[in-house]
């Protein structure tokens, strides 16, 4: 009886051994490959945000509402060509003496920053020139007509002045009352009645 022929098993066995060895080598090399791949990925990965020195983008910090530096230094708006408003100078006339039997009276006028004071009445106009203030008043001597009621009017010229680039022109103040609101009226009453002269015609022979 002839012997049974079997299929050769040597090539199959060798192939299985080579497959097992290859699988084992790949299994051991897998962690190294993953680490190497991760390293390469980190090396050649494109960054998501790139800031270059030539970038024109600017970042402006914003302050919070409770920033103490903002509260301590509020913005100041500069207004050009704005001058303080010129306030009128005081004009105070001391009370007059009335009635009086004198034919003259001195009027005292206190006025700020003045260079001229004028008193006008039925007896005429009287003016003084100088540098007057409330502390250095003007003294104006006026004459009175006998047995006449005099209504006084006082005018004072205020000097021009400047403050930096602001120029303030001069102006005039006037009043007919004293510093307490009383009328500037002087009644002159003479002690002696007015005399009358009788002119007789000259008769010649």
pLDDT by residue, tens only, the chain of 205 residues: 445 555 555 666 777 777 777 766 666 555 554 555 555 455 545 445 444 444 444 444 445 444 444 444 444 444 456 888 888 899 999 999 999 999 999 999 999 999 999 999 999 999 999 999 999 999 999 999 999 999 999 999 999 999 888 999 999 999 999 999 999 999 999 876 555 555 556 666 5
95 lies in the same domain as 166: yes
Q: Is residue 195 part of a domain?
A: no
| 33/116 same-domain check | no
Overall domain count for the chain: 2
* 33 and 97 in a common domain: no
Residue 186: what pLDDT?
98
The answer to whether the CB of 177 falls within 8 A of the CB of 94 is: no
pLDDT of residue 122: 97
Same domain, 31 and 114: no
**179 three-state secondary structure:** coil
What pLDDT shows up at residue 15? 74
Task: Evaluate whether residue 106 is within a structural domain.
Answer: yes
Whether the CB-CB separation of 193 and 147 falls below 8 Å is answered with no
95 and 182 in a single domain? The answer is yes
Residue 154, domain extent: 91-187
pTM metric for this prediction? 0.55
Decide if 144 is inside a domain.
yes
Residue 29 lies in a domain: yes
Q: How far apart are CA 1 and CA 100, in angstroms?
A: 185
Q: Is the Cα dihedral 72, 77, 79, 80 positive or negative?
A: positive
Query: What CA–CA distance (Å, rounded) separates 107 from 168?
Result: 29
Q: Does some domain include residue 203?
A: no
**82-87 long-range CB contacts below 8 Å, 24 or more apart?**
83/163, 83/165, 83/166, 84/163, 84/166, 86/168
Shared domain check, 96 and 29: no
Q: Tell me, yes or no, whether 55 lies in a domain.
A: no
Query: 98 lies in a domain?
Result: yes
Residue 99 lies in a domain: yes
CATH number at residue 136: 2.60.40
Whether residues 24 and 98 share a domain: the answer is no
On whether both 180 and 118 belong to a single domain, the answer is yes
DSSP state of 180: T
Cα separation, 45 vs 124, in Å, equals: 107
């Amino acid at each position: 009886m002839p012997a049974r022929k079997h299929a050769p098993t040597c090539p199959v066995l060798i192939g299985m051994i080579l497959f097992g060895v290859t699988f084992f080598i790949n299994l051991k090399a897998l962690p190294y490959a993953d680490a190497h791949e991760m390293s390469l990925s980190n090396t050649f990965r494109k960054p998501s945000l790139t800031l270059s020195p030539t970038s024109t983008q600017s970042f402006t910090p914003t302050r919070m509402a409770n920033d103490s530096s903002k509260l301590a230094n509020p913005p100041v708006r500069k207004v050009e060509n704005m001058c303080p408003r010129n306030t009128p100078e005081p004009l105070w006339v001391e009370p007059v003496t009335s009635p009086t039997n004198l034919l003259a009276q001195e009027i005292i006028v206190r006025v700020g920053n003045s260079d001229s004071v004028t008193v006008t009445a039925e007896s005429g106009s009287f003016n003084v020139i100088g540098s007057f203030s409330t502390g250095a008043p003007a003294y104006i001597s006026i004459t009175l007509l006998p047995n006449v009621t005099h209504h006084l009017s006082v005018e004072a010229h205020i000097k021009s002045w400047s403050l930096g680039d602001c120029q303030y022109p001069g102006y005039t103040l006037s009043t007919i009352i004293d510093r307490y609101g009383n009328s500037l009226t002087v009644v002159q009453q003479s002690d002696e009645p007015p005399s009358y002269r009788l002119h007789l015609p000259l008769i010649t022979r």
